[in-house]
Amino acid sequence: MDFEQAIRILKEAQGDPARLGLASVDLLLAGHPDEEREKLRTALEVAAVPHWFDEKILAALLDPPLAVDAEALAAKLRRLPVVEPFPARGPGAANVHEATRLALRARMKAESPERLRALSVHAQACFAGDAAPHARIEVLYHRFTAEPEAAAWECSALAEGWDGAGRYEALLGLGVVLDELLQEGLPESLVRGTALYWLARIRFNYQPLGITAPQARAALEEYQRSEDDSRIAMSQGLLGNVLLA
């Protein structure tokens, strides 16, 4: 690829993180057949659904015709500038850079919400057999996309258990994911209220320098929409503790 062609591809992306990520495929495979580039673009979109991927995860998320090429596609994905190694999740694990990953997810949610929901169902299955906190958080992350109301109840049960056991590191990881989900957008009332409540509670209990009052107030407002008296009382108690502190 010559310099002018590379500049043209980047200009066409117009600074959009999702389009820039997909443009990296054209930069890597310039001169290759359109079909080959389209396969890698699809693989990149799919790899952006979970927080990390490897050949096995990629194969589980790709449609059957592409799943057979998962190993080769994963190798090509690792050569993209928007993908980096993620050794904390095992040999061969990698992740799409956060800005690109979130942009690709947002685009899919806006343009193909049913596709994102279906991929989230498959992603849950990839991590469901792992009892490690990071895997349980990942399952919950995809559950919020696929079945948000069920995820709200599961989130409360998981967080209560970890809070009672003093699993602060696991709770901090859960807080990061809840914050991401809230920024991505969650249904109002019970679902959004639960994410806000636990984000505020985690920050209040384990990140005392964090700003928690806005989340605590917002959680109360969402629970008031749900007309669930126990949750309203619970969020009022949290807000009272935050304001007292």
Domain end (from 71, 86, 113): 113
Q: Reduced to 3 states, what is the DSSP secondary structure of residue 85?
A: strand
Residue 172's domain comprises 128-245
List the chain residues with pLDDT less than 50.
1-7, 9-10
**122 inside domain:** no
Q: State residue 10's pLDDT score.
A: 47
- How many domains, in total, are found in the chain? 2
Stated pTM of the model: 0.90
Each residue's pLDDT tens digit, 151-174: 999 999 999 999 999 999 999 999
**1 inside domain:** no
**123 inside domain:** no
Helices within the chain (DSSP H only): 3-13, 17-28, 34-47, 55-61, 64-67, 70-77, 98-111, 113-127, 133-146, 148-164, 168-184, 190-206, 213-226, 229-244
Do 30 and 5 meet the contact criterion of CB atoms below 8 Å apart? yes
**3 inside domain:** no
Q: State residue 24's pLDDT score.
A: 75
Q: Do 134 and 216 fall into the same domain?
A: yes
Q: State residue 12's pLDDT score.
A: 59
Look at the alpha carbons of 98, 100, 105, 107 in this order and tell me if their dihedral is positive or negative.
positive
